[in-house]
Amino acid sequence: MTELGPPPVPRRNKGLIAAITVAVLVLAVIGATAGWLIADRAASEKNPGASGSATPDTGTPTSEPPVAEPSAVPTSAAANPGGFALPDVRTMDFEQARRQLRDLGLGVQVFFARSGDDRTVDRTVPAGGQIVRRGTAIKVYVKGAPPLATIPNVMGVACNQAGSIAADHGFNPQYPSGRNGVVLREDPDPVTGTAHWNDTLKLFCGTAPSAGPSASAAP
């Protein structure tokens, strides 16, 4: 008598077994992943710096950044209490512009072109509209060459004061004999001489000769 083997497994049973196997594997993977995440989170809470995951960039710093000192004071009225906007003196006569700027407490240097007789201002440095403060030196550039200037007569005036007067008239004062005493002589001469703006005016200073003894009154 021939022995028969085990009955064949129905096809549907094989599919069911395969599905169960896959489900078990998926559950195992999910369980392992969950366990790893829980362990990693616990380690992170215990030691924040030991977390192996990258911190997402949220655009917000995790701590206050250090305050960087400015490299230069900004040119603004807020940064310069008492500052004011420099007037735009372009196209003005340079003497009028110079006077206006000096009235604002600003120093003024006037620069002329090599030729031409145009007295109007071409530009300034700093430019008009920039925030400046009293005492700032302003460079004024004139379109034409330096015109003739009036030589002030400062004979007998204290030397330092005479130098200020000469500068006010557009000259560069020099003191060949020192700055003590009063002005004894000028070069160029204020009566016969001529000079242009920014020329040198030499002031020779010293002690004025004392007057002789006054005559005694008649008895």
- What structural domains and CATH numbers belong to the chain? 84-142 (3.30.10.20), 148-206 (3.30.10.20)
What's the rounded Cα separation, in Å, for the pair 75 and 90? 21
Residue 158 is classified by DSSP as B
Residue 140 corresponds to which tokens in the numbers above? Answer: 């004024």
List per-residue pLDDT tens for the chain, 219 residues long: 445 555 555 555 555 556 666 565 655 555 555 554 555 554 444 444 433 433 333 333 333 322 222 223 334 444 456 799 999 999 999 999 999 999 999 999 999 999 999 999 999 999 999 999 999 999 999 999 999 999 999 999 999 999 999 999 999 999 999 999 999 999 999 999 999 999 999 999 999 877 655 544 444
User: Looking at residue 150, what is its pLDDT?
Assistant: 95
* β strands within 157-207, DSSP E: 172-174, 182-187, 195-196, 200-206
> Given the DSSP bridges, would you call strands 121-125 and 195-196 parallel, antiparallel or unpaired?
unpaired
User: Looking at residue 78, what is its pLDDT?
Assistant: 44
User: Looking at residue 62, what is its pLDDT?
Assistant: 31
User: Looking at residue 11, what is its pLDDT?
Assistant: 52
User: Looking at residue 209, what is its pLDDT?
Assistant: 78
16: three-class secondary structure by DSSP: helix
Burial of 6: CB neighbours in 10 Å, binned 0-12, 13-18, 19+: exposed
Q: Of 106, 147, 151, 146, whose CA–CA distance to 124 is shortest?
A: 106
Mark out the alpha helices in 93-132 (DSSP H runs).
Answer: 94-103
> Given the DSSP bridges, would you call strands 172-174 and 84-85 parallel, antiparallel or unpaired?
unpaired
pTM of structure: 0.58
Residue 144 corresponds to which tokens in the numbers above? Answer: 């034409």
User: Looking at residue 81, what is its pLDDT?
Assistant: 61
Q: Of 145, 146, 166, whose CA–CA distance to 157 is shortest?
A: 166
User: Looking at residue 210, what is its pLDDT?
Assistant: 72
